[in-house]
Amino acid sequence: MCDKDILDRFHTFFGGSILQVKVRKAHWKQTWKWKLSGKRAFACVGKMVEYMCQRRQDKYNVVKCNQISG
């Protein structure tokens, strides 16, 4: 992503880290990636699940059930 300010908002709200991606060609823009893992990532997805398509919601719910039962 080229808009680091958006990633800064995600970082402020959810935590994680922002990493600078190596520019591979001289004419390409600088890009960034936001990284979050583990329980914090699962909690982040939980806040976004209502905006996802039904297929992705179903997958999230399967993982959530497996986490609770296992």
Residues 46, 60 share a domain = yes
Residues 47, 25 share a domain = no
Residues 57, 67 share a domain = yes
17-70 per-position pLDDT tens digit: 999 999 999 999 999 999 999 999 999 999 999 999 999 999 999 998 988 886
Residues 49, 25 share a domain = no
50-62 per-position pLDDT tens digit: 999 999 999 999 9
Residues 32, 1 share a domain = yes
Q: Can you say whether the dihedral through the CA atoms of 8, 13, 17, 21 is positive or negative?
A: negative
Q: Which domain holds residue 65?
A: 37-70
